[in-house]
Each structure stands twice: as C-alpha cells, then as structure tokens.
Structure 1
C-alpha cells in the first residue's frame, strides 16, 4: 500500500468520523431530563459536556433551544426574549449542516421553529409566530413521509394540530392567509396515542414532555374541570424531584376545583438553587389562598410582583390584592390597589384586560365576590351559601345582576343540579346578551356543553351558535374557541 493511498484513506476516515450527526446519548438524555425537571443550569452543563466530547452532535443544538424555550416560558422576560430570538436562525443553520439521512434532521429543525412559534405567540408576535409554526408543520409533514415510523413526529404534529385548532379570532386573518388549519380533538388524540406508544421504546424519554403538553391542553384549551384524576395519574409518571411536576400538580388541582390539594402541592414544591426561578408559583399559590380566604394570600401575590420580570398578570395580581382588602373591609387598601391596577402592568393578556375593566367599574357586591372566589377553589357549597338568598333587586349594578344568575348557574352546574343550572344560565343570557360582560356568552357555552353531555345535539348546536353570535364581550377569544370546538365535536 502506497504512502499516498494510506494518507488519503486516513483523511477520509477522519472526515467520516467528524461528520455531523444526531445522537441521543447519555449526556443528551441527562440534559433532556434536567430540562423537564426545570434544572436548566444542570442541563446547560450536560450540553456543554456533549459539545466538548461530540462537537458534531446536532442534538446539542436542539437541546440548547429547549433550554431557551423553558427559560422564556418560566421567566416571561421580554428583554431576554428580544435577545434570544436571534438564535433561532443560527440554530436552523447549524442543524441544516447535519446528517440529512437521520430522522432527526428535519424533525430538529421543525422543533426549533415550533418552540419559537409558541414563544413568539406568548410575547404577542402573532404574525411571526404563525409563520414559524407553519414552517414547523411543513417540515414535520416531509419528515413523516420519509420516516413514517419515527414516533417523535406524532408529538409535534399533534401539538401543531391543537395550536392551529385553537387560533384566536384576532389572528384568524393571518392563519387563513397562510392556509393554516387545525383540529383540537384530533391533535389531543394524537398526543395521547403518542404517549401510549412510546412506552418501553427508545423514545420513552419524551414521556414528561407529552404529560406537560397534555396537562396544559386539557386545562387551558379544553377547560375541563373533570379531568383531575386522569391528569394526576399522568403526573405520577414524572420524577418526584421535578419542579415542573410539582407545579403542574398544583396547577391542575387548582384549575379543576381541588384547591386544598393545590395549596398542599404548591407549599411543598421543591426549593433549591438547582431549579430555575418560577415566579408563577407565587401567583398561583396567592390565587389559591385567596380562593380559600387565607389571611396570608397577599404574601404570595406580593412575592409574584417582586420576583416577576415579565408583562403578564400584573394588573390581575393588583386586582386580587384589591379584592383581598375589600373582603377585609379595608377600603383604603382596596382603593390604593385599584389605582395600581390602572397604572401598573400591561393590558395585553385577557386576564389583565379584564382586571383593568373591573378596576374601572363599580365596586363589586361582596357576597358575589366571595361566591366567585369560593367557586374558583371548588368550594361550591360555600359559594352557594353566599348568594342563595340574594335577589336581583338587591343589586345596584347591571353587572352584578347578571353575575348573580351566572354564578348561581355555575354553582348548580358543578353540583349536578341540572334544572337550576339551566334556569339560571338562561336568565344570565336574557339579561346580558347585549352587554360586554362575559357572563351571557359563557352561559350559552356551558348550556351547549350540558346538552352535549346529555346527547341532545340539536340544543347543544343551538347554544354553541348562540355563543358565537355574541360579539365584543370579555374573553371573546377563549369562549369562541371552546364553542367552535363544541360544534366540531357534534358534527
């Protein structure tokens, strides 16, 4: 063998050994686990080690993006968002230099577009968000054609299906222009199937991500209050040292009316410098405590305002503090916090818009306010006790009059007293259908749900359409999304 041939063979071997690839090895698996425990600094260390030992591994690029994604999700820091979003293009370029024959080649690019699409939506960049999500969808479709048995495709395709199915009306024009379509039920079924299919496979490490997505979809998009047992059983599969698990346990419990359990989970959340700061825990715990009328509720609401560097729920938090002092009979505290609702924070999120609106309206009836807070915590009998003997004539403002019927209906609905629920929902609709308050539209929505549950599709369809016919009210986007999903289910 000639020396020249030997060197050619040697350099060819070196070139092959340095060829970019996608390897989900032990370092990558540990980094991924740390990300979903919300130990982001640990994840960064594992990724750095992988880059040193295997600099051509494209999975490191994807994991870097996961870290930024969860940092921005948990901090909601707009300064970091502006600084980090330039990294998307750099990561796509790096991934395009990898092994085109790997099922991770198109998938990893799609994941970067998908994660940035979701983050951009969170920060209000809806056009850029929709375009990134569309790019992700196109890449996933191509990858699914090439690698039909590559299970991770199903996770992300299901997520995009849900996101596009839940697009709010204020983004609908952009979505229609790009030809974006989705179906919430189809997407969730796809994710549930994915979660089931990865058990015992080399993709089982995706289980925590599937649980994370299913919890938020069930609670925030479907708004199911009867899914606690199912979601909690999912969460049992996550590691006990995961901050994300503990937060989700508290979140799911609070949103499904299991308030005492929510407080217990959130008070016992892992506390260590190993975990990324998560101010939302303080916000959630403060709200849960307020729903139970705990005296220390302001401590946690105030902590949220101190720790949080984002733009969401600031006005809502000040309003909750105002209501705490109103319930105490401290009118000075109440009026001082109302001033802060009007002057602090941003009116971009629906909750903050609602908080600002309430701060500029007449003082709410105290009994109605207590009923509302007890209801939010799942204390339905206590909520009923506050207003069961109250009449419309006792209430001065139209808002309170409509809310009385709406609140009675919601309580009877949760107590499974069908006749009284229907009667009071209808009263709320009759009184409030021409107003901007959300009570009438939500009443129509819940009547649609009640009749759907009773397999009376004709009445369900009537009330879902009635919901969509009411315009210009509070929470328009989320209420309309649920009504559309209801109509899709009964077709």
Structure 2
C-alpha cells in the first residue's frame, strides 16, 4: 500500500516522466511511433532497427506495425503466421517494472490491437476477452497513476464504445463485468488530446468514434478539418478525413481531402481508399468513374472484407448507368464472394438474398435519391424524389420514399415537415424488418434533441432501439443509446 501511495504521489508531481529505466521512450522510439501512426511503415522499421529488441516501446511499435499491415490487407495467412506474437510481447512487457504507468498501458494497447484483428477474422469471443483484459489493465492504471494522460486515450474510447453497445449485446457486458459511460469517455479522450506524444492519436480516436456513435455535427467537423490540416504528412489523417467526411454525408469535402491524399510508396497502401473513390463518384452520379474505383479495390485487395459491399456498389453504378445485364452479374457475385462480418457486407448480403427470392430490382429514382443524400447533395436528392410517382411504389418503397423525403426536409431546415414524413415511414414499416422505421425514429429523436425537448427525444430514441433484426441495428442502436446518455438519461 505504501509503495502504491509513493507511486501515485510521484505521478502527481511528475506526470510525464517514465518511472523506470525498463520503459525508456527514447527520442528515436518516439520518432518510430510517429512514423507508424503516419503509416510510414518502412521508415518506422528502419528506425526501430537501431533500438534494443527487448525495449518495451520497440515491442509495442512492432505490434502496431503488424496491426496496421494486417488490418489494411485483411491477410488472414499473415495473421495466423504471427498470432503467437501477442502472448510473447505481453509476457515480455509484464515482466518489466510494474511501477511504471507504461507497463499496463502498453499491454492494454497490444490487447486492443489484437481484439480488432480477431474481430476482423470472426473470432468475436476471443476479441471480447481481450477487451475485458485491456479494460481492467487501464482501470487499474488509472487508479495508480491518475495524472498519466496517455491512459485516457484507450480508456475513453472503451468507455464510449461499451456505453453505446446495442441491446442485443448488453447481456454479454454484464457477464464480462464491463461498464461504459459515454460522457465520461468523451471527457477522458479530451484529456488525452493534451498529451504531447499521444495527443494526435487521441484526437484521431475521438473523431472516429464520434462519427460512428455520436451525432457528428459542424463543431466536430471543424475539428476534423483542422486535424487533417495540421497533419499534412500523415496518411492516417487524410484517410480518416475522407472516411468520416463520407460517413457524415460530406462527399464534396471528402473529394477535396482526397485530392491531397499522399500516394508516395513510403506510405502503407490502404485498398479501401479505392472504395472511397468509388463512393464519391457514385454519389455524384459519375457511374463509370465509380465502377473504376470499386474494380480497383477488388483487383488490389487480397482479403474478404467489403467485397460483398464493393459488388453491391458495382451493381448500383451499372444499374443507374443503364447497364442492367452487367449490373445483375455483379449483384449475383455477392452470394459467392467475401464474408459477412462487417455491417456493410451483411447489408449487401441481405440485399442480394432479397433479390434472389423476388427478382425485383430497385426503383432507380429512390436509389438516386438515397445515394445523393449519402453524399450531401440535397438538391439532387429532392429532384430525384419529386420525379417519383408514389402510387407506383410498393409498401417497402413507400417507406423508403417517406424516409428519404424526411431527410431532405430535415437537412433543408424544415424539421416539422420532416417529422410528418418520418412518421409515415414508421407506420409503413410496422411489423417489418426494414431499417426505415428505426432510421426515421432516430432522426425524429435528433430533431427533438435539437429543440431541447429531451423527453420526446428519448421516446423516439427508445423507439429506434425497439426495432429488431434490421440490417443497421448495431449502428442505429449505438447512436440512439449515445444520444440518450448524452442528454443525461441512464439506461
């Protein structure tokens, strides 16, 4: 107990000092960490070669390199080949001085690297075990070294993610003993951004998680643009800038960032950027250019993730270009390629299965409107919707029509009219496993949240969560839960 008190007291006085010689974060290793974060992998490997093999920071950065390479390539053979490295590295660091805050921090970081890789290859149970172990290490570290800023980076991310876990997984959290708090997690990530070394990665994590879990508003977007601007030599910054811009319906912004995207061979090649190129073109209605992006992804990517999604988007681009025969050939590919681990691949698979049963092709006007809205092209979406004859749509198409119409009205400053459209979509979705009802309820929740009507907002967020078995349940549930917690309610 006395030893722990001395350590805590020392960390208060000197919060940025590494407390043991075992954990010597040399300037050269700090350089290597910056290089791997920028995805300059070859330069990082050369920098590491100058350091002792048993230095824990070298061990951690080597793990980071493998994580980055495997996560980008989806190379399962590579993953299997080096899978034993996890335990070897953890054991080496654990045996070093436990009186350093870096002992638990680095082990937790490594466990989270491997958790993400295990999820990527379908090992969810093993990944969950990694998350539990990482959370316990970080919470213990926080108690021992409360002023150790880097600890807040992974701990804050975990608190947000765990706090927004959908209903169908919450029983797992109880069994595992995991607790999350979104507001606490946001505050922790904010603290971590103040750290001179780990701060940029904390900003990166905060932005990425916000785009998936929280409502990504103009304030968050301004932070994103500033982050990209301040990290001009960082491929990771450009990558997240494009990804989040697309996810938050800002295709023009994504296009501008992509024009500055570094293509030098010194950086790690990220095949998914080809999908992003295709998405920007597809949302703009440039269908031939979109097809080139998706085909480049399929050609250059050696893994299984996002292949179903890429073929679905190839279907969209060819179908809207009038190449129906080629479009259907791409659609049929979805059933035989890739895996269905990611939410977008699951959605593509469900789309194909519906087509295989019904052989009904989508309404082109609705599809054009949806893609335009995805890119933030509201006037083009409105133009497409206005050309649609509602009487010629089936029930599912009508549900989508009112949902898309609601989004156009919502984005063009007509929230009350938007609510009436969203409500019609909810009625049409009753007892169906389409996402339009859940998506509409989520958007109505946001409208009431913006108006300060918290109880009404909570009612609709809870309604969004109540829908079962639709393709975007995890995402919608996470966003609804995050909004409820953000307003001060507890679930």
TM-score, length basis structure 2: 0.90
1:435: Cα distance to partner? 0.9
1:301: Cα distance to partner? 0.7
Instruction: Name the counterpart of 2:372.
Output: 374
Instruction: Name the counterpart of 1:257.
Output: 249
Instruction: Name the counterpart of 1:153.
Output: 151
- Whether 2:393 is the aligned partner of 1:435: answer no
- Write out per-residue CA displacement over residues 7-58 of structure 1, whole angstroms, 9 at most, x where no aligned residue: xxxxxxxxxxxx961111121011111111101121112112112xxx4422
1:186: Cα distance to partner? 2.0
Q: Do the aligned partners of 1:263 and 1:289 also contact (CA within 8 Å) in 2?
A: no
Pick the aligned partner of 1:423 from 405, 420, 425.
420
Instruction: Name the counterpart of 1:473.
Output: 470
- Write out per-residue CA displacement over residues 76-119 of structure 1, whole angstroms, 9 at most, x where no aligned residue: 22222222332110001111222233221222222212222233
Instruction: Name the counterpart of 2:120.
Output: 122
- Once the two structures are superposed, the pairs formed by residues 65-144 of structure 1 within 5 Å of their partners are 65-144=63-142
Pick the aligned partner of 1:358 from 340, 351, 361.
351
- Write out per-residue CA displacement over residues 200-253 of structure 1, whole angstroms, 9 at most, x where no aligned residue: xxxx12122112212211112225254322221233332x12211221222222
Instruction: Name the counterpart of 1:222.
Output: 214
Q: Which fold has the larger relative contact order, with Cα–Cα distance below 8 Å and residues 6 or more apart in sequence?
A: 2
Pick the aligned partner of 1:444 from 438, 441, 452.
441
Q: Do the aligned partners of 1:158 and 1:190 also contact (CA within 8 Å) in 2?
A: yes
Distance 1:173 1:90 in 2: 32
1:312: Cα distance to partner? 1.8
Distance 1:380 1:445 in 2: 19
- Once the two structures are superposed, the pairs formed by residues 31-430 of structure 1 within 5 Å of their partners are 31-51=32-52, 55-195=53-193, 197-198=194-195, 204-224=196-216, 226=218, 227-238=220-231, 240-294=232-286, 295-359=288-352, 360-361=354-355, 362-395=360-393, 397-430=394-427
| SS, match of residue 276 in structure 1 | coil
Distance 1:221 1:150 in 2: 26
Q: Do the aligned partners of 1:406 and 1:428 also contact (CA within 8 Å) in 2?
A: yes
Q: Do the aligned partners of 1:130 and 1:175 also contact (CA within 8 Å) in 2?
A: no
- Write out per-residue CA displacement over residues 145-197 of structure 1, whole angstroms, 9 at most, x where no aligned residue: 222221111112112212222334554343221111112332122102221x3
Distance 2:126 2:173 in 1: 11
Q: Do the aligned partners of 2:312 and 2:331 also contact (CA within 8 Å) in 1?
A: yes
- Whether 2:450 is the aligned partner of 1:457: answer no
Q: Do the aligned partners of 1:371 and 1:383 also contact (CA within 8 Å) in 2?
A: yes
Q: RMSD in angstroms over aligned alpha carbons?
A: 1.8
Q: Do the aligned partners of 2:407 and 2:418 also contact (CA within 8 Å) in 1?
A: yes
Say if 1:343 and 1:121 are closer, same or farther in 2 by CA, change over 3 A. closer
Say if 1:481 and 1:253 are closer, same or farther in 2 by CA, change over 3 A. closer
Q: Do the aligned partners of 2:309 and 2:348 also contact (CA within 8 Å) in 1?
A: yes
Distance 2:480 2:256 in 1: 34
Range with greater deviation from structure 2 (296-305 or 165-174)? 165-174
Instruction: Name the counterpart of 2:484.
Output: 487
| SS, match of residue 197 in structure 2 | helix
Q: Do the aligned partners of 1:313 and 1:351 also contact (CA within 8 Å) in 2?
A: yes
Q: Which structure has the bigger radius of gyration?
A: 1
Q: Do the aligned partners of 1:367 and 1:386 also contact (CA within 8 Å) in 2?
A: yes
1:482: Cα distance to partner? 1.6
Aligned residue-pair number: 462
| SS, match of residue 132 in structure 1 | helix
Instruction: Name the counterpart of 2:5.
Output: none
Q: Which runs of 4+ in 1 moved over 6 A?
A: none
5+ long unaligned stretches in structure 1 = 1-18, 199-203
Distance 1:466 1:97 in 2: 50
Instruction: Name the counterpart of 1:201.
Output: none
